[in-house]
Amino acid sequence: MKKIIFAIICFIFSITGVMASEIPNSIFYLNDGLYSYLYENESINNLLDSDHEIYVEYRLYIDSDELKTLEKKEVNKDVNNYLLITKDDDIFEKLDEKNLQIDCRYVVDGNSYDWSEKENIISLDLIDIPKPKISNLKIDSKITYKIDNEDEINSFLKTYLMVFNKELNYIEEYRINDENWISESFNSKIDLEDIKIDFRIKYKIDSEESEYSNILTYEKHPERICMFGSDICCNTILDVSICIWIFSIFIIFVIVLIYIDHKKRLIKEA
């Protein structure tokens, strides 16, 4: 019996010891209210599986002075975002990113544990998102390229995508011979021996999207063979070489001169 009681006491103390060292790791942000994004915690999840009641308690500070202890939020393994203050709350109007701080702690089965360090709220607005920059365009059966500032884009959006569980989607667009831009899959059967292809990208997150990237161009044409080896003869009018037009006009002019000369001789002989 003593061994059983001792085992139970050890179990309780082992839980207490684990939990006392567990401090919530959160991101605090303003949206349509004040929210906390709570990172997953393996120890906490294990206790949830054992039917423990676990809450997170928050304290709000303005200019380092405690303003209010907020209502505890029950931890749920399937939820990461917790609404702490609604948009309609009087305190919400006083909140300022520069002087607002928050800390929090776990409360397990009514027992409170260590407070986290005070944290500022962060801005998650998608303002001035980086414009993509691309290079190294290659086209054969598909289009390949390099996003030069991909790390910058991923770093800028990392927290936003994690907090709101969103995905970053790149949209590719190309146009052929200066026609309209299209975003359909590239047609691998296109003749690449005589063509001009312009290519650009942008990315979207929900309804928000970036500016278009710079434009890269692939261009290839058959070698031109001009009449008489002159570049001027490669210019055309109505798809006919300008040299043929000049030659044709010259021939007509000569025929007209011969005809006029012939008429003059006939008049003299008469």
Question: Which of 207-216, 227-236, 261-270 has maximum average pLDDT?
Answer: 207-216
Q: Is the pLDDT of residue 210 over 90?
A: yes
For the domain with range 134-220, which CATH number is right: 2.60.120, 2.60.40, 3.40.50, 1.10.150? 2.60.40
Average pLDDT over residues 165-178: 94
Q: Is the pLDDT of residue 9 over 60?
A: no
Tell me what pLDDT residue 2 has. 42
Tell me what pLDDT residue 151 has. 97
Q: Give the Cα separation of 109 and 55 in Å (integer).
A: 8
Which among 66, 79, 70, 61 is positioned nearest to 107, based on CA atoms? 70
**Class of 2-120 per CATH?**
mainly beta
Higher pLDDT, residue 247 or 200: 200
Whether the full predicted model's pTM is greater than 0.85, yes or no, is: no
The least confident of 74-83, 84-93, 236-245 is 236-245
On the question of a common fold for 2-120 and 134-220, the answer reads yes
3-state helix, strand, coil in the chain (%, to 5): 30, 35, 35
Q: Is the pLDDT of residue 160 over 90?
A: yes
Neighbours of 241 (CB within 10 A): 18
Q: Which residue has the tokens 């975003």?
A: 183
Q: Is the pLDDT of residue 13 over 50?
A: no
Q: Which H or E run includes 200?
A: strand 195-205
Domain ranges of the chain: 2-120, 134-220, 228-269
Q: Give the Cα separation of 176 and 81 in Å (integer).
A: 46
